[in-house]
Amino acid sequence: MRYTKPQLIKLIHIAKHKLGIDEDTYRMILQNETGKNSCKAMTINELMRVYDHFEKAGFKRTAKRQRSPASQKAKVKHNIALKIRAVWIEMHKQGVIREGSEDALNSFVRNVVNPILQQQDKPLVLNVQSLDYKLGTIVLERLKKWQQRTQKDKKEVK
């Protein structure tokens, strides 16, 4: 992937923070990799060398994801969507769901609801906000059952 100089500097500083590298060690790494002790003085190729060093040290870049909106700001068709979002976030915090973003929730909702709607020749649902009470109940019950199964599995493992 091609980065600009400011992007690379930003990524290097994020990597430094995420890897817990102190200032002296950081400057030593810069000096060893490029012969310079400041990112500002480096070329893009030198910055890439430093960034590659941090990746080899264990830094993994994560993309910014759309987070679930605050419940007060979300415009929903029915309040059950707020409950679904709350259960989704709770399951993400418990580690049941890897991806707790709004996009992942909407994908789950589409996978649950759209097959039902296709059988009835009704318009498809695109996101959790557009759920009515009946469809929202179906999604919420699926989430609750999923949550119960994983809690039951965790108890059996112990």
Q: What is the pLDDT along the chain (158 residues), one digit of tens a residue?
A: 688 999 999 999 999 998 999 999 999 999 999 999 899 999 999 999 999 999 999 988 876 665 555 544 556 667 888 899 999 999 998 888 888 888 899 999 999 999 988 998 888 888 888 888 999 999 999 999 999 998 877 666 65
Give the integer Cα–Cα distance in Å for 83 and 147.
Answer: 14
Using alpha carbons only, give the angle 31, 32, 36 rounded to the nearest 5 degrees. 25
Q: Residue 94 sits in which domain range? A: 80-157
Q: 87 and 51, same structural domain?
A: no
Is residue 102, in this structure, part of any structural domain at all?
Answer: yes
| Domain identity same for 52 and 117 | no
Task: State whether residue 97 is helix, strand or coil.
Answer: coil
In terms of phi and psi (left: phi > 0; alpha: psi -120 to 50; beta: otherwise), the region of 129 is: alpha
**Do 47 and 84 fall within a single domain?**
no
* pTM, full prediction: 0.53
91 plus 46 within the same structural domain:
no
